[in-house]
Structure 1
Amino acid sequence: MTQSVVVQVGQCGNQVGCRFWDLALREHAYVNKRGLYDDAISSFFRNVDSRNSDGGVHAVGGRIQHLKARAVLVDMEEGVVNGILQGPLREVFDSTQLLTDVSGSGNNWAVGHMTYGSAYRDLIVDKLRKAAEHCDCLQCFFLIHSMGGGTGSGLGTRVLSLLEEEFPDVCRIVTSMYPSAEDDVITSPYNSVLAMRELTEHADCVLPVENQSLLDIVNKINVMSHGGKPGLMIRSGSTVTSGQGVLGGAEKPFDSMNSIVANLLLNITSSARFEGSLNMDLNEIAMNLVPFPRLHYLVPSLTPLYTLADVSVPSRRLDQMFSDAFSKDHQLIRADPKHGLYLACALMVRGNVQVSDLRRNIERLRPSLPFVSWNQEGWKTGLCSVPPVGHSHSLLALANNTCVKPIFMELRERFNKLYRKKAHLHHYLHVEGMEQSVFSEAISSVTALIEEYHHLDVTSTRLTPDVARLCIAT
């Protein structure tokens, strides 16, 4: 059985990660009622005897003794991590998995990437190695971080480069939270573009998620929960919203936003955690969805999001789930893949779904989805037999699609508005090791990425030798 390690960096990364572990434990407890330490649990958890002072794995009769998440938590402010250690998940982590400071990165990519990246490099590598050593067969690192702040963008991408340096053969899948245009961090365009260059160079796959898209989804859920449409209501206990199922009085919008991203991670890891008739290996995601190394940004779409009172198995409801996955209302970024060009697409289905249902829906939807001419059969599918708690089935679609281009163009424009005036630049240039050329290289990297997507769009109707310009080999 293979194992994966989750690396959480910054406030957002740790909040989303905490929600993932909470829901993952809930899923395993629901499926594994006898409390046995099995292959499914071992994929993301270690079984540790708390009485064993050397921290070694020890199970009596195969039963769970004390679960520890296969995780590394990093933040240069200690508030969120301390909150986790005082909360219900405090026993799931120990001090050897944590790295915190007290001063934060001040919304400055350079401080996170260069100052803290250099100061804590050896400690970070040590914690990553220890997490890897606890795995029998390490398959993947999942990095969770945000793009707009300083620690998530700066130190998060420094950790990503360390993962490539120390574990070059282990897949690196990154979930990146992109700020909205109305973000309250003025320097977020700088931080995001500087981080983008690192993601393009060092990640195997990036799952971009926009705060604004998540907020729009949560607002729609909230409207529905208060009777927005007759006959619709939110199922109580829905994991897609929160532990309470709806936005409660003490709950903040970002709690539900974090839960949506956590469910994205639950779905993408489901084949690694549970059996299925058509399991998808995590390494297969990059192998099948990334035809060119730099074009590895995968648009995630999750359904069900707007949970109805009775989710049943009938074919009509199942077919609607597949249709929803290709609706812009279910995308976790503000992009419409139907207005872009598909390079490849993965469908990761959970629950009581047959291979025939999967194939039938692909054939039904195929005519409306524009694929590149040289990859008309570019579908990758996975079936996991265990559905999310409270649902009969769910679907995660990952689309490698040129529709991400406008998102990156908008980000570049926001960057240029600041950079043309050299606004706030001195905060970055005062950081040791940071030079203005880093900004130039970062914006050039994003521009080159946009041009590569554009080139695919304009050559979509024919197969040409120019495809070689996309740097097929690096």
Structure 2
Amino acid sequence: MTQSVVVQVGQCGNQVGCRFWDLALREHAHVNKRGLYDDALGSFFRNVDSRKGDGGLCGVGGRIQHLKARAVLIDMEEGVVNEILQGPLRDVFDSAQLLTDVSGSGNNWAVGHLTYGSVYREQIVEKLRKAAEHCDCLQCFFLIHSMGGGTGSGLGTRVLSLLEEEFPDVCRIVTSIYPSAEDDVITSPYNSVLAMKELTEHADCVLPVENQSLVDIVNKIKVMSHSAKPGSMIKRDSSVISGQGGLSGAEKPFDAMNNIVANLLLNITSSARFEGSLNMDLNEIAMNLVPFPRLHYLVPSLTPLYTLADVSVPTRRLDQMFSDAFSKDHQLIRADPKHSLYLACALMVRGDVQLSDLRRNIERLRPSLPFVSWNREGWKTGLCSVPPVGHAHSLLALANNTCVKPTFMELRERFSKLYRKKAHLHHYLQVEGIEQSFFSEAAASLSWLIEEYDHLDRTKARLVPDAARLRVAT
């Protein structure tokens, strides 16, 4: 049995992580009726009960007694972590696996990465090692963070580099939340581009998620809920309707957005948590979807979207679910993958879906999806028999696709507007250890990524088979 550890950094990382643990517990409670500790639970939870499997899971309605999440929670402000510890999931987290400060990073990547990264380095490494020691066979670290603030971008990427140093053979999958152009943090372009360089160098896979795309999806769900016909309501006990998501207090506007990202994590971990006729090993994601080490940004899409909220819609056909996964309306970044080039693609299906259904839909969609000439069979598939609670099936698609290029170009432009005027730069340069070269090197790293994706797009247009392989390998 393999295990994975979730590392949550910053306010956004911990809010999304809390949603994930809440929904994961609901799924396991729904499947594990007897409440016994088993391999499925052991993949992301450890049993600290001395009775070895007696009890272990008490269901959603009661408090969780004997399970501890395989998680490390880090934030340089204590508000969100304290809120989690006062909420219904307080007993799920081991207090020894929490690390907080009080002052925050001031929306400054350098403070998070260099100042706090140095001050707390040994404590972070110790908590990561302790989490790893509780695993019999550690397979993967999942890092959740945002790109726009100081702690998520700065300390989050410092933790990523520490994971590579301490556990070089363990897969590192990062879920990164990118700010929208209207982000209220004026320095978010600096933080995001500085963080991008670290993600490119130290992650095995990055799942980019844009705030604006989440906002658009939530708005679509609201429209669907108001325009739907009576009598076709999604079940109220669906696992994707998480109530307070493990936090105390009233539901907040961003909870629905966090819920979407949590569902992304539920789907990508489903094969590790449950049985299936074609389970996908987490290590296989990087192995099969990343042909070149630095081009490891995988665009996620979820379908059906209406399962993310309590809305009234008719049941969609299974084939439609596969079609939706490749439409721009279902991508978690603002992109249209069908008009860009695929390097590889994974389909992670949950529920009552047969292998023949999967193969039929791949063959149906294949002609309309442009793949690189040297990897036209670049599909990876997984079938997990356990669907989201209350639903028949779901699908997560992960596409290594050049459609990430516009997102990165927009980010570079926002960075350049600030950097040309050296606006707010002094806040960073006064942090010990940082130099202006950090900014030019980060911008160069991002430009390199954009150029590589652009070159791949151009090889698609010219139908030159091997040019992309040779260029990226040099």
Matched residue, 2:356: 356
Say if 1:182 and 1:231 are closer, same or farther in 2 by CA, change over 3 A. Answer: farther
Q: Which amino acid aligns with 1:382?
A: G
Contact 1:373–1:463 (Cα < 8 Å) also in 2: yes
CA contact (8 A) 1:342 1:371 kept: yes
Q: Is the CA contact 1:311–1:392 (under 8 Å) kept in the aligned structure 2?
A: no
Q: Deviations over 1:31-55 (max 9, x none)?
A: 0001110000000000002xxxxxx
Could you say which residue in structure 2 is the equivalent of 1:54? none
- Deviation per CA, 1:152-197: give whole Å up to 9, x if none: 0000000000000000000000000000000000000000000000
Q: Indicate the residue corresponding to 2:290 in structure 1.
A: 290
Alignment partners' CA distance in 2, 1:223 and 1:174: 31
Letter in 1 for 2:383: L
Paired residues for 1:376-391 under 5 Å: 376-391=376-391
What is the distance in 2 between the residues matched to 1:42 and 1:466? 42
Deviation at 1:17, TM superposition (A): 0.1
- Runs (4+) of structure 1 exceeding 4 A deviation are 228-235, 308-312
Aligned in 2, Cα 1:230/1:33: closer, same or farther, shift over 3 Å? Answer: closer
- Structure 1 residue 59 corresponds to structure 2 residue 61: no
Partner in structure 1 of residue 62 of structure 2: none
Structure 2: unaligned runs, 5 residues or longer: 57-64
Find out whether 1:146 has 2:138 as its counterpart: no
Write the mapping of 1:154-169 to structure 2, written as runs, cut at 5 A. Answer: 154-169=154-169
Q: Distance in 2 between matches of 1:240 and 1:305?
A: 11
**1:231 positional shift:** 7.8
Q: 1:37 to 1:230 in 2, by over 3 A?
A: closer
Determine whether 1:281 maps to 2:281.
yes
| Alignment-mate amino acid for residue 343 of structure 2 | L
Letter in 1 for 2:83: G
Deviations 1:370-392 (A, max 9, x none): 10111100000000000011111
Is the 1:215–1:253 Cα contact (8 Å) retained in structure 2?
no
1:344 matches 2:344: yes
Which residue does 1:55 correspond to in 2?
none
Q: Say which SS state the counterpart of residue 459 (structure 1) adopts.
A: helix
- Matched letter for residue 468 of structure 1: L
1:284 and 1:269 map into 2 onto residues whose CA distance is 12
- The AA in structure 1 aligned to 2:328 is K
Shift of 1:224: 1.8
Q: What residue number does 1:462 align with?
A: 464
- Summarize the alignment of residues 207-356 of structure 1 with structure 2, pairs less than 5 Å apart: 207-227=207-227, 235-240=235-240, 242-243=242-243, 250-307=250-307, 309=312, 317-356=317-356
Is the alpha carbon distance of 1:214 and 1:234 closer, same or farther for their aligned partners in structure 2, counting shifts above 3 Å? farther
Q: Which amino acid aligns with 1:463?
A: P
- Residue 109 in structure 1 maps to residue 101 in structure 2: no
Q: In 1, are the aligned partners of 2:22 and 2:242 still within 8 Å (CA)? A: no
State the Cα distance separating 1:252 from its structure 2 match. Answer: 2.4
Identity %: 86
Q: Cα deviation per residue 1:87-109 (whole Å; 9 max; x = unaligned)?
A: 00000012211000000000000
Post-superposition CA distance 1:101-150 (Å, at most 9, x none): 00000000000000000000000000000000000000000000000000
Is the CA contact (8 Å cut-off) linking 1:237 and 1:244 kept in structure 2?
Answer: no
Q: Judge conservation of contact 2:302–2:331 (CA < 8 Å) in 1.
A: yes
Match for 2:117: what amino acid?
G
Shift in Å, 1:243: 2.7
TM-score of the aligned structures, taking structure 2 as reference length: 0.94
SS of structure 1 residue aligned to 2:404: helix
Measure how far apart 1:237 and its partner are: 3.9
Once the two structures are superposed, what CA deviation does each residue of 1:218-245 show, in whole Å capped at 9, x if it has no partner? 1111122223678875553444454389
**Structure 1 residues 195 and 117, CA gap change in structure 2 (3 angstroms):** same
Q: Is the 8 A contact 1:2 1:136 kept in 2?
A: yes
Q: C-alpha distance in 2, partners of 1:127/1:311?
A: 47
**3-state secondary structure, aligned to 1:115:** helix
Q: Give the corresponding residue for 2:61.
A: none
User: What root-mean-square deviation, in Å, do the aligned CA atoms of Structure 1 and Structure 2 show?
Assistant: 1.8
- 1:96 corresponds in structure 2 to 96
**Which deviations, in whole Å up to 9, do the C-alpha atoms of 1:335-359 show, x marking residues without a partner?**
1101110000000000000000000
Asked if structure 2 preserves the Cα contact closer than 8 Å seen for 1:235 and 1:309, the reply is no
Distance in structure 2 (CA, Å) of the matches to 1:169 and 1:244: 37
SS at match of 2:14: helix
Task: Give the Cα–Cα distance (whole angstroms) in 2 for the partners of residues 236 and 62 of structure 1.
Answer: 30
Count residues in correspondence. Answer: 458
2:233–2:313 CA contact under 8 A, matched in 1? no
The 8 Å contact of residues 227 and 233 in structure 1, kept in 2 or not, is answered as: no
| CA displacement at 1:62 relative to structure 2 | 5.2
Alpha-carbon separation, structure 1, partners of 2:468 and 2:323: 34
| 1:6-85 matched pairs, under 5 angstroms | 6-49=6-49, 58-60=50-52, 63-64=55-56, 66-85=66-85
Question: How do 1:150-189 and structure 2 match up within 5 A?
Answer: 150-189=150-189
**Whole-Å separation in 2 of the counterparts to 1:177 and 1:237:** 28
Q: Distance in 1 between matches of 2:78 and 2:424?
A: 26
Structure 2 CA distance for aligned equivalents of residues 310 and 413 of structure 1: 39
